Amino acid sequence: MSIDVIIGKHSIYAAIKNPERSGLKLFATREGQEAFHSEFRDIQSFKSKYELVVLDKNAFEREWTSALQDNEHQYVRCPSDIFLISPERIAYDVGWIFAELKQGRKLKILCLDSLTDVHNGAAIIRTAAFFGMDAIVTSSKGIFSVSPHFYRISSGGLEYTKLIRPSSLPAFIQKLQESNVHCLGLSDHASQKGHPPEKNSSICLVIGAEDKGISNAVLRILQHTVCLDGPGVLKTLNASVAAALAMERFCSGRSGQ
Q: Are residues 148 and 224 in the same domain?
A: yes
Q: At what angle do helices 30-39 and 9-17 cross, to 10 degrees?
A: 70
Amino acid symbol at 23: G
Query: What's the number of CA atoms in the CB half-sphere (13 Å) around residue 128?
Result: 32
Ranking 69-73, 106-110, 142-146, 171-175 by mean pLDDT, the lowest is: 142-146
pLDDT of residue 128: 96
Q: Is residue 256 part of a domain?
A: no
Q: What is the pTM of this model?
A: 0.88
Residue-range definition of the domain harbouring residue 55 = 3-87
Query: Collapsing DSSP states into helix, strand and coil, what is residue 58?
Result: helix
pLDDT of residue 201: 86
- Percent of the chain topping pLDDT 70: 93
pLDDT of residue 192: 62
Q: What is the mean pLDDT of the chain?
A: 90
Backbone angles phi, psi at 60, to 5 degrees: -60, -45
Q: Are residues 231 and 109 in the same domain?
A: yes
Q: Are residues 26 and 113 in the same domain?
A: no
Q: Is residue 25 part of a domain?
A: yes
Q: Are residues 239 and 113 in the same domain?
A: yes
* 130 class by beta-carbon count within 10 Å (0-12 exposed, 13-18 middle, 19+ buried): middle
pLDDT of residue 31: 98
- Where a domain ends, among 87, 110, 134? 87
Residue 244 has pLDDT above 90, yes or no: yes
User: Cβ distance 181 to 202 under 8 Å?
Assistant: yes
Query: Collapsing DSSP states into helix, strand and coil, what is residue 4?
Result: strand
Residue 26 has pLDDT above 90, yes or no: yes
Alpha-carbon dihedral sign for residues 187, 102, 255, 124: negative
Reported as a single tens digit per residue, the pLDDT across 155-165 is: 999 999 999 99
Reported as a single tens digit per residue, the pLDDT across 60-117 is: 999 999 999 999 999 999 999 999 999 998 888 999 999 999 999 999 999 999 888 9
Q: How confident is the model at residue 256 (pLDDT cuts 50, 70, 90)?
A: low
pLDDT of residue 52: 97
Reported as a single tens digit per residue, the pLDDT across 194-241 is: 555 667 789 999 998 877 889 999 999 998 888 887 788 777 788 899
- CB-based contacts of 171: which residues, under 8 Å, 6+ apart? none
- Where a domain ends, among 29, 61, 87? 87
CATH, residue 129? 3.40.1280.10
- Percent of the chain topping pLDDT 90: 72
Beta strands across the sheet bearing 108-112: 162-164, 135-138, 108-112, 203-207, 182-186, 224-226
